[in-house]
Amino acid sequence: MLAFCNLQRIWGRVASAEQHRTDLPRLAKFLSAVLNAPVAAAYAFAILVVSEDTPHPLTILFVSIFFATVVVLITLYVLARTRVTSDFYASNRETRLIPFAIAVASFAFGVLALLFLQAPKPIIALMLSLLVNNGILALITLRWKISIHANGIAGPATVLAYSLGSTGYLFALLIIPVVWARMALKAHTAGQLLAGALLAPLVTYVLLRIYLPLV
């Protein structure tokens, strides 16, 4: 009887470990979805709209999220469904140029729309940073698979830190679960994640220093 009880305990531990291993990829996929670049941009725009003295905030929030998030997500879905890209995240580097081109065009229209609406400078700067960062990522992707997920957290975090201080630093902490999730799914190497996370603050900071004094 004692041996049987011990066997049950051992089996319970094995089953628990197996369940744990099964749950980790699910968690990684969930984090990859809720923290992917266009979704992270939506979070950042919402924070800026609430924090800034924004005229007609709902309109500006809608326009921002439409061009930065909705258009990009629909593009990724359609391209994946039609097998233009390998999957929703365009994991195959060779298939990323088309979604990048559409995203960059959407960001450009977003900048123009926000200028027309006379949105606060930080909101326009965030859309402009998405435009510039993704243009650079598109060029890098021709040769190397840099992490869009990491870049998509670090860029908006830089705008938030520049405009709102500590809020941006808290936002930047989202890079931790993103790095874990992408590595757990074997979607990126540590170098690709690090490059994405470091490139965005550098490009965005330079952009902010140039753009904000001009407007």
The one-letter code for the residue type at 168 is: G
pLDDT of residue 201: 96
pLDDT tier at 7, thresholds 50, 70, 90: very low
pLDDT of residue 215: 60
Per-domain residue ranges of the chain? 27-214
Tell me the pLDDT tens digit for each residue of 132-170.
999 999 999 999 999 999 999 999 999 999 999 999 999
Residue 113, both tokens: 């729309």
Between CA 199 and CA 151 the distance in angstroms is 7
Tell me the pLDDT tens digit for each residue of 165-215.
999 999 999 999 999 999 999 989 999 999 999 999 999 999 999 987 766
Tell me the pLDDT tens digit for each residue of 65-96.
999 999 999 999 999 999 999 888 888 888 89
pTM: 0.86
Segment 118-134 mean pLDDT: 96
